[in-house]
Each structure stands twice: as structure tokens, then as C-alpha cells.
Amino acid sequence: MTTEPPRDTPAPAGLLILAGTPIGDVADAPPRLAAELANADVVAAEDTRRLRRLTQALGVHTTGRVVSYFEGNESARTPELVEALTGGARVLLVTDAGMPSVSDPGYRLVAAAVERDIRVTAVPGPSAVLTALALSGLPVDRFCFEGFLPRKAGERLSRLRENENERRTLVYFEAPHRLDDTLAAMAEVFGADRRAAVCRELTKTYEEVRRGGLGELAAWAAEGVRGEITVVVEGAPAPGPGDLAPADLVRLVRLREEAGERRKEAIAAVAVAAGVPKREVFDAVVAAKNEAGAAPGPA
């Protein structure tokens, strides 16, 4: 009787779990969160001290290894977590508040896990984006999330100008000490009368939702605002026929080209959005190109 040598068997696939955490009131923690915290082999936390406070509030004892996973070490720690996942570990990722990878660490780890065919799932939880949208009083059927704007004034204005003609409701995060400058910039680009809502300290004791025009909100914020901030801004009104100047048409075509569209398709799309003939957009683009070519160079 011969015995075959044992064959190497692959390790069971691991599981990456993205867990939403409360954005304010700990009572909003999803029921599954406590069980996942208790059963994970590895808990990767944006702030281990905040994790400790959360587990104490939930009455949970973590038995797995706890590691930090934040912006400063995300790139270096991702391979370590992927190695644990390929070895069959159950890895739970939590951030300070809300859903991992939404303006928080997590994207790199998810991308790396997906690349290696590791299963990724989530424990849905509270979201500042959706909560602010629901409370804003602005249209919520279509929206886009822009995260944090650049800190430098010039870069912030440039980003806002990209959103100037966005028809969907816009959602931004902002630090309280930059809120007045951001709202003032929004009023400059979008117009002082564009409706908006500043949502502060959502689900916390001092929750506040301030609604009004951007100019009015900028004046209010100039007095100083504290807490976690989410800003919701009404989308741009649909342009009527002939409402946009040739320079605006050219700028919209350029933005679409920069996003990867061919000029022909960009011109057609802008014409439809602006409610004007394609020839009008084409002529504006050609005129702008000729004008740029005719501009005198440096002496």
C-alpha cells in the first residue's frame, strides 16, 4: 500500500469588512457592528483611542489584533492587511465616523483586496452625506459628493468653477475654521442667492441645520462656527436657450475635453445642455482658438 504525499491546500480566503460607525450618537451604531468587532481577527482603526471609546460604549471586547490605519500609514499598512486577508483572516476596517473610504482611509485596501479576488463586504451605518441631504430641504433625487475642497484659495476657486454648472445637488465636507472662506467662494462662483444648507454636528447634542442663500450663510459663518460641517448646495438651474455666453460654452467644452471626451462629442453635449444649435457652440470654440492664436507673445 502506497501513501500519496500530502498536497498543499490553499489557505481559506479571508474577508474584508467595511463597517460604518456613528457620526455622533453612539446609539446609531448598526446592530451588526458589535458582533463584527468581537469576532474580527484584525481590527484596523483610523484612531485606536476612538475605537476603544466606541467598544466601551457598545460593551464589546475585541479579541482580535487591533492596528492603526490612517492617512499617514495607509500605504505602508495596506500590504500587511492584504497578507492577513490572503491568509484567511477576517479583517474589520473602521474609521472615526461614517463609512470607510468615503473621505476616509479605506480605498487603497479595498482596491488591493479586489485585485486579489478577496471578498469585500460592508456593515452599513450612518452617513453624514445622506443625513445632510435629507435634512437640507434641497432636491435629493440626483446629487454628487465632492468631499473636501482644496485648502488654497486659488485651487478652491478652480474646483468650484468646475462645479458651477452642475445641475445635481452638491455635497461638501469642510473644516469649521475654513467654512466662512468656503461659503464666500461659493457665493462668488455660484451666486449669493444660490440656496444651500450648512449642517453642523449632525446627530449630536448641538445639531444645527442653517438654510439660506450662500451670501447669507457666508455672513453668518464669518462670526465663527464650530463642529463637524457638511455643506449642501442647490444645483445650477437649467440654462434657457441663449442664456450662456460664448465664453461659457467654450469653457464647458474644455471641461468635457479635459475629462476625456472628444471635441465633437463635447460640443454636441454642451449644445444639448445649453439649448443652442451645435453650430453656435462650434463657432464659439473656433473663435476662441483663433483669438488665442492671434494673441501677442511676450516682448
What does the pLDDT look like over 74-91, one tens digit per residue? 999 999 999 999 999 999
49 & 78 share domain: yes
- What is the value of pTM for the model shown? 0.76
152 & 111 share domain: no
Residue 201 covered by a domain: yes
Residue 7 covered by a domain: no
- Tens-place pLDDT, residues 285-297: 999 888 876 544 4
What is the average pLDDT value for the chain, to the nearest integer?
91
40 & 83 share domain: yes
116 & 153 share domain: no
Q: Identify the residue with better confidence: 12 or 18.
A: 18
Residue 9 covered by a domain: no
In 125-250, which ranges are E strands? 143-148, 169-174, 195-200, 208-213, 229-233
pLDDT of 103 reads 85
Query: Is the per-residue pLDDT at 11 higher than 70?
Result: no
Q: How far apart are CA 292 and CA 287, in angstroms?
A: 9
53 & 116 share domain: yes
Looking at 233, 259, 284, the residue that finishes a domain is: 233
121 & 136 share domain: no
134 & 119 share domain: no
115 & 134 share domain: no
pLDDT of 245 reads 85
Query: Domain count of the chain?
Result: 3
**Structural domain of 281:** 246-292
65 & 103 share domain: yes
Model confidence at 260, in pLDDT bands (50, 70, 90)? confident
99 & 147 share domain: no
Q: What is the mean pLDDT of the segment spanning 221-238?
A: 94
Shortest CA distance to 80 belongs to which of 71, 72, 91?
A: 91
171 & 113 share domain: no
169 & 259 share domain: no
Quickly tell me which residue has 464647458 as its cell: 252
Query: Is the per-residue pLDDT at 65 higher than 80?
Result: yes
Q: What is the largest CA-CA distance in the chain?
A: 95
Question: Which CATH number is 96's domain given?
Answer: 3.40.1010.10
Model confidence at 3, in pLDDT bands (50, 70, 90)? low
Shortest CA distance to 285 belongs to which of 241, 244, 247, 245?
A: 247
